[in-house]
Amino acid sequence: MCAAAAGRKRQMIFEEKTLDSEMIYKGAILNLRRDKVTVMTGTSYREIIEHNGGAVAAAVTDEGKLVMVRQYRKAVERVVLEVPAGKRNDGEDPLDTVSRELREETGYSAEKIELLTAMEPSVGYTKEVLYVYLATGLTPGETDYDENEAIEVVEYDFDEVYEMVISGKIHDAKTIIAVLMAEKRLRGGKELR
């Protein structure tokens, strides 16, 4: 052990206890609450977004194409290329969510849907959990967009999307995780096609 590391004092992890909780905002998609918590120096406040979470589909065709969507995202003020995904309804099984969202956004149904991971996109301020699935054995069908959605469905060679992720051209976290997890599962050390 180096001298600098040996000289540092080990600090134990301090669990913050909630002393009070106030709902600041209740919305259609999320809620925002403010918790008063204990910290090592006394008390502090944490703002927490409550969200039902969602499900994400890395949907790969038999031809090795990744089915993606392009849509305008107001939070970042631009069109984003991303994998199909959507919010879970109250108490909905994430597998049902991903099947519904894949069909609604792309028209595809999947013969096989396999859980790749569950991820917490930003533990500093939200309880949201996204379930990431690999969807294969795709059958095309009709889309069924929500009335306020304007989505363009596009298909890219999986290798091309993987390179876009690695080179930093894709910024959407759920898409990055879905592509990296799917790449590992699909290749298993071999070429995709």
Q: Which of 92, 147, 163, 191 is catalytic?
A: 147
Cα maximum dimension of the chain: 65
Question: What is the value of pTM for the model shown?
Answer: 0.87
Ramachandran quadrant class, 107 (left: phi over 0; alpha: psi -120 to 50; beta: rest): left
**What distance in Å separates the CA atoms of residue 15 and residue 167, rounded to the nearest whole number?**
38
Confidence of residue 13 (pLDDT cuts 50, 70, 90): confident
Whether pLDDT at 133 is above 50: yes
Beta strands in the chain (DSSP E): 18-26, 30-39, 42-51, 54-60, 65-73, 78-82, 85-87, 109-119, 130-139, 152-157
**What distance in Å separates the CA atoms of residue 75 and residue 72, rounded to the nearest whole number?**
9
- Multiple choice CATH, 52-187, 3.90.79.10, 3.30.460.20, 3.60.10.10, 3.40.50.300: 3.90.79.10
pLDDT in tens, 24-57: 999 999 999 999 999 999 999 999 999 999 999 9
Domain boundaries along the sequence of the chain: 14-50, 52-187
Active site (annotated) includes residue 22: no
